[in-house]
Each structure stands twice: as structure tokens, then as C-alpha cells.
Structure 1
Amino acid sequence: MRTCLDRALTFAGATLAAVYAPEVGTRELQLVDTSGSVPSGPAPPERLPLSGDSPAARAFRTHHPLWLTAETPLGALPLGIQGSRLGCLLVLGASPDGFEAEQRRFLERYADAVAALLPPGADPPVPTPLLGPALRSLRVGSFVLSPDTGLIEADDTLLELVGITPDDFDGKVDTLLAHALPEDMHALMSVLEPTTDAFGRRDLEFRVRGPTGEMRWLSLSCRAEPGAGDGPQQVLGVVTATPVLRRGGDDVSRIQWLTAALDDAATVRDVGRVVVAALREPLAA
């Protein structure tokens, strides 16, 4: 779970996540759980005064998230349920440009999942760990693929999303791909077997068939790590459930969005409305 958490934080643009909760009997926030590391600079402090000017204390007092872009970009997200103040999730950014909008949305969902695990009152002890179980509740899976061998290291959450039990998984990427819809196979292969000039982050939505035949959308984000020789040594990635398909700018994303939208079209008028919506943006019409 800790490895999956570190991978998920990487794709959320964070190098470190830390949970602070009020310490009983004091006016301080206490560090209760961390994951990741700080590339340079000091580690997160064990305690922060509630009346101080730290981002964590400010987010806790105001109950509003803070996104700061400075020498070390960071986000401070208040933890609470129905107006209660339970703590703060502090994340350090990996990019000097700060967190992208999609990364912020994921981290805000992640903060809600962490808050759901915190006790509502001041007296009960704070459970630890928090970060791993919160990620598990969001159903975020991760993998490491070796394109040269076709072997893939997948965690239990990813196998659950695809519809494979751990006992039935043989460690081969073909076993996972066999559960994807044939129409999405070409796009998946282009992402999981990148060329030597495609070492950046890649994002894709795809569909799988569950054990009972139901179809579900999954979102995949991956990054190829260059290795010695002509090809990538590893492909690192995360997979999450996608309740609503996003409309991307590439041809594959447009076709996938159109296909999903047409599934709900019941009349000729519905079909016309969906197709017009799909064509208006790329044609600038």
C-alpha cells in the first residue's frame, strides 16, 4: 500500500504528503502520518502552533484550501466533515509551476477521504496510518510495467478494478489487457508500449468488462522511464475508476467520448444533439 501511495502522489504532482491533527490539550497541530520525501530542505515539523502563520495552520483556521507557488510549491487542505475542523493535509509539489487543476481536484478528493477516517471529537486517538487507507477508499491502483518482457507488477486495487483476483493473476500485461474492450486496445498499446521519444506523462480512458459482463470506465496515467538502450526500461502508472468520461483534445479521446455519449442516446434527436456537441469544438463551428 505504501508503494501504491508513493506512486499515486507522484502522479498527483506531490513529493510528500503529511497529515496534521490537533493535539489534545495543546494549541498545536501534531504530525500523525507522512508519505514520500522532501528532495531538499528540512522534513515537515512534528508540531505547528495553531496560531502561527504556517500554511497548515492557516488552512485549519480558515477551513479553506491554500495553493502556494513559491520556491517549494505546496498545498494545504483542511480536513473536516460538515464544518468540523479535524486537521490538515499538507502536500509538497514536485513541479516549480505548482499543481495542475486535475491534480488539485484529486488531492481535494484525497483530503475528503482522509477526513472520513479521522475521529469527530477531540478525545479519541487519531488512527494511524491514515494516508494508505484513504487512498484505498478512493480505489486508486498502481503498476510498474517492463515493456521488454511484458511483465507487470500490479497492486490488488488495480486487479480489483480490472476484475481479476490476485490468485488468477500471472504477472503478465496481456492478462490485464484481455479484460479491456477490443475497441480500446490500440490506444492502450500505444500508451503502454511508448516509443523512445514519448517519455512524458500519458493519460487515457479505457473500458473493461467485469466478471458479470458489466462495462466500466477506467482512467490510466503513466510515465515511461528511459533506460539504457533504445527503449524505456519501465512504465510507471496509476489507474482509477472514472464515473464520467472526460473530453480530451486528441482523436482517441473524442471518439471515446462520442461512443460513451451515444450509449445514452435513445432518439434521433438525442443522436443529433450528441454528434453536434462532439463536432462543434474540433471544427470551431
Structure 2
Amino acid sequence: MIAYSLAATATVIALVWLRRSWLSRTMSRVFVGYLEIGAVVLLLSLQDPFVALPCAAALGVIGSYIVTFHSPKLFVAHQVLSVTTVGILFTEAVTSPDADVVLACAYLVVLTLVLFSAPILAHMLLLLLRRDAASAFYDPLTGLLNRRGFDSVFAERVRGPGSLMIVDLDDFKGINDSYGHAHGDMVLRDIASTLYAEFPAPALSARIGGEEFLILDEADDAEALTRAQRLLVHLDKGRAGSTTVSIGVARLPARSSVEDLWRACDRADAAMYTAKKAGGNSIHVDDTRPTDL
């Protein structure tokens, strides 16, 4: 009777799953809870513990799902429940009148490997995938987003109007030639740290070229220009080995697409070159009105 009830409930959940493109996090937790309770009840209801013990390997599958899609706390709770269930089944097996202790111990060894090794291997694989994803979206030198990462984050945001800025170092080649590439790398990291400080979240900052940076600031125009001016002052330290930057600014309308973003980036880039031609260490604002875009 229990098996029939679980099968009927599983059918209902499967139909709900098929009607959705993917489970929400809450629905996924409900699904996990159902699997946990259903599996434990079914295993403990089996009369022969030597049948129930190998079937407990199904708990390892649930553990792999949890470690992939849910928090470590939920995984720990699952492991506690799994170990408790297997402990009860193992105790019943070795204390039964016709107990085969050797077989029960063999099942226990296999279950230990399944319950612990499979989820841990899945977790290690997930960490490797996350590390690869991070390296694909972030610049390794500065820790800022790269162009691909900027596109990805921008595409997932609810976007209001903002100021798009291109920041380009003045005579960075001269810095490298005079002080070496190690010093040039230090300058790039210093600029990245300054961008983090002057343009905190929800602003986005990225390194999109050798010495070129991109900033999207959703502050109003006046505040964005004030931050850009502070960036100029911070970098123009007036000492050997320091550098200045040229900044081009373009307005990005609300609800812009990724294509709109890079068109605005072209305008900001042109404004940056205007600032550079004027001698550098300055800001130039693109004067294209939204109605002209």
C-alpha cells in the first residue's frame, strides 16, 4: 500500500515538473523533502533488511542532486538522515535470526562509498565548473569583469538609465617601457581598486582591453561625473610611474539591450578619444541625445 501511494504521488510530481520549464528553488526543496521521506519510509517498511540495504543506495542519488542544486546545510541534513537510515537497516540485518553478517558488512561498505563518494565527487566537479565559469567571466589580473562577463551580468539585470564610461590610460606604453611590465600590472590593479571604490555596486566595472576599462553607473548624470572626476584626481598623483586617464561618457537609456549597450560604448569610446586628443587627463561627454539614437 505504501509503495502504491508513493508511486501515485511521484506521478503527480512528475506531471507538475513537466508543466514547468524548471523547478523553482522552493519547489525543488519540496521535491527533495518528498524523496527523502518517501525513500526512508519505503526502506524501513521492507520486511527483509537484506533487500532494503542495497536499495538504500538510492539515497546517494538524492544526495548528488542536493549537493548540485542546494545548500551545504541541506546536504548535511540529508547525510544525517541517510546514515541514520542505513544504521537502522544494518542493525536489523545483523540481528535477524538468519543473519549473514559478512553480506551485511559488504553492503555497508558499498553503501558508505555510494552515500559519501558520489555526492563529494559531484561537489568537486561543481567547484571545478564554477572555477572555469569564473575564469571565463573575470579578468585574472584585476579581478574585474571581462567583456563576456559584463555582457552576461548586464543581460540579467533590470536596467534603469545610466552613464557608460570608457576609461583609457594615457601613454601606458611609456609606463611599461620606462618602469617595466610588472609596474604596469601594478598600475592596472591600482586602477581596478579605484574603480571598485569610486563605483560600488550596483555599478558594473570591466577591463575590456589592455589598458581600457568600461564602467556602467546607474547614478544620475551629475553624480556619475563627480565620481569620474574623483577617479582622475586619484590617478594623477604627479609622481614617477603614475599615470593619467582619458574618460569618455555616453548616456545609456533605460531598458537598453546588449546591442544598445555596445552602441553606447562606441559613442563613449569616441568621446574618450576626443578627451585624449585634447591632451588626456580629462573627461569628455558624448552629446548625442536619446532621440537621436
TM-score, length-scaled by structure 1? 0.23
User: Which structure is larger by alpha-carbon Rg, 1 or 2?
Assistant: 2
TM-score, length-scaled by structure 2? 0.22
Structure with more of its chain in helix, by fraction? 2
Bigger relative contact order (CA 8 A; separation at least 6): 2
